[in-house]
Structure 1
């Protein structure tokens, strides 16, 4: 009964959207009915090549509510670098492609795990769903969807593990969360960009924020000034990315943490993401931003960040700072001011700081979004690994919810 109410509400929303677009009422009703009937005939196909479904994939890409991390160009850059076996899941409703789940096969402890392509470097995953089918797929019986996924994947993997999925993204419920899930230990943090910069800052402690910005500006000017780099020529973008790798490596080493950007494949992937850009649309897989000093310290990169954009949503993928010079100017926070204000002026509505609880994110982001992992065992081996993942995830969530335990865990990780 409850599912029916939710389903009817979504159909009503779709109907209103059709009316606003000038679609006749009878046509809108017929379209909704046809979608429901098509979902009843849903079939799942497995594809082992990106190029085989590129046209359908790029068509779903155009929906800005489908995550950039499942976009064709982002996934293609990752596949080119890592060359892992693919098992891309395509949901077919009649002649239409209702959804695509870009999945690769990763081995861990002898277990074959089907994960989103590039999952280890994703800040939000949604899969790709056709807007017309999102509501109808949300009403499909979970057992039926689970059984279809198991049948499609069982020869290729032991466990389907789709991580970092919000239950709902910008008011669109995600049909994947009807599958067995566990809440991820990490939240994502976002800053809505409102009608102007003044309104955006009012969400924060605007007076204190402006004061800190003035102090940071004066300290940087006292050192000889600075240059804010935002995008630019590909050659310079690649140079800045290499500078980030070196800067972040030193930072990880100083903190006693493993360098998650150290392997050649990840570096190749991110360089490929810089090149995956269509200048005709306001979207990009990766764009480097930086604060570069002038004067006596000419050329010194004090802070770096890489951001991605799809539609009006920008994600900060990573950032780093060099505190050997200008540490008292807080160059990392200064860079975020510059980036966010620039995005405010370029039609962005949401600046996303990505996954992971850090103090600078909380200081900028008044909103947080919980993420969930789909954990669907495909056989007995997968069931054991799925139980292990659930246990570890819940354990991490428990530790992170208790600040003292979290500090102890961080110290132990650095020691290890």
Structure 2
């Protein structure tokens, strides 16, 4: 572990709203050992404002299996008050990109949302002065980070503003479709009766299959069986769609299997798996993270057999929506991207943003380049003609 004390700038401190000294950042430290930071991380999970993607069990599994294999060094930033009470933890991993040392959120492309773990009472009152102090402290750490590339951050979480939105930012290239679920709403308010009837008609074909059922994997044996099915089907499905198989990247399968099996203290697992199956096969799989208020989709696939004709993915999605609504959840998202099936369920969007923050002189040009590339990517995705052209070109290059 290395550390650096942060002394607040007098001008900034003078302009900040009056607040008890326990609510100010006084120290910023960096930890490179997951075991050393684990007690602080887990304590913040119980007092936190963050998404379920920031759980220790989830991200430590990613770092062990993916981050380490891709030469990414853990850089967990902890900011604390004068009494060394942790106020927030930034779960980052740093690596060299084109000669520049860049720190990004742990989890890579497998997290929909990225956040710091904030002590909720601090997040609720955090000001511009607080996040400026945090950035100043990170800049002075001996970790020698050139750029903070903090992408896919939600503007708000659990009705509180994400304090990192006070730093310079821009809209993310892709949006995240969101379904809001009002407590005690009737099922037709979540999914219309006409859509339910269409799905019920398709499901009758599947119900004729011996042993047809919807299930949530809870035992190690069920989870392992579902993972086996996913990693057998997904490469075939991606190849059929002429898409790259991101699940074949080094360490990804080991990471996902470990996170699916990791039990949480409050019950459930770091990743929850839902499936439609029959005695002959697993027909469809959707998996994601849940925190008592929201379910967030991570990955999915469906059979290559004739049973794919009956929209098993949509049927399973209906079951998942009803499952979490019955447990009192208030929202559900289907991950980053604008696939047509997502709009059948999700009518809103979760605002998400990126920040590319230079910490050194040589990081300035790199941060500008990253920001510009992200803006260009967003422009293409927001322009239908350009998006179709990009998709055509991508498909031609993969033939």
TM-score (norm 2): 0.88
Q: Tell me how far 1:101 sits from its aligned partner.
A: 0.3
Q: Tell me the C-alpha RMSD between the 2 structures.
A: 2.2
Q: Tell me how far 1:146 sits from its aligned partner.
A: 2.6
> Cα gap change, 1:105/1:308 in structure 2, threshold over 3 Å: closer, same or farther?
same
Conservation of the 8 A alpha-carbon contact between 1:119 and 1:163: no
Conservation of the 8 A alpha-carbon contact between 2:48 and 2:118: no
Residue in structure 1 matched with residue 232 of structure 2 by the alignment: 246
Q: Tell me how far 1:328 sits from its aligned partner.
A: 2.6
Partner of 2:305, secondary structure, is coil
Residue in structure 2 matched with residue 165 of structure 1 by the alignment: 153
Residue in structure 2 matched with residue 180 of structure 1 by the alignment: 168
Residue in structure 2 matched with residue 102 of structure 1 by the alignment: 91
Whole-angstrom distance in 2 between the partners of 1:33 and 1:395: 41
Q: Tell me how far 1:64 sits from its aligned partner.
A: 6.0
Bigger helix share: 1
- Cα-to-partner distance string for 1:224-256 (whole Å, 9 max, x where unaligned): 562212113212212211321222211211121
Residue in structure 2 matched with residue 130 of structure 1 by the alignment: 119
Conservation of the 8 A alpha-carbon contact between 1:189 and 1:361: yes
Partner of 2:174, secondary structure, is strand
Give 1:228's match in structure 2, choosing from 192, 214, 221.
214
Residue in structure 1 matched with residue 108 of structure 2 by the alignment: 119
Aligned residues: 378
Residue in structure 1 matched with residue 11 of structure 2 by the alignment: none
Whole-angstrom distance in 2 between the partners of 1:308 and 1:283: 10
Whole-angstrom distance in 1 between the partners of 2:211 and 2:257: 29
> Cα gap change, 1:156/1:242 in structure 2, threshold over 3 Å: closer, same or farther?
farther
Q: Where do 5+ consecutive residues of structure 2 fail to align?
A: 1-15
- Equivalent residues in 2 for 1:67-86, closer than 5 Å: 67-82=51-66, 83=68, 84-86=72-74
Give 2:363's match in structure 1, choosing from 382, 386, 389.
382
- Cα-to-partner distance string for 1:271-304 (whole Å, 9 max, x where unaligned): 11022213x52453112221113xxxx4222211
Deviates more, 1:378-387 or 1:211-220: 378-387
Whole-angstrom distance in 1 between the partners of 2:358 and 2:64: 28
> Cα gap change, 1:41/1:90 in structure 2, threshold over 3 Å: closer, same or farther?
closer
Conservation of the 8 A alpha-carbon contact between 1:87 and 1:156: no
Q: Tell me how far 1:128 sits from its aligned partner.
A: 0.5
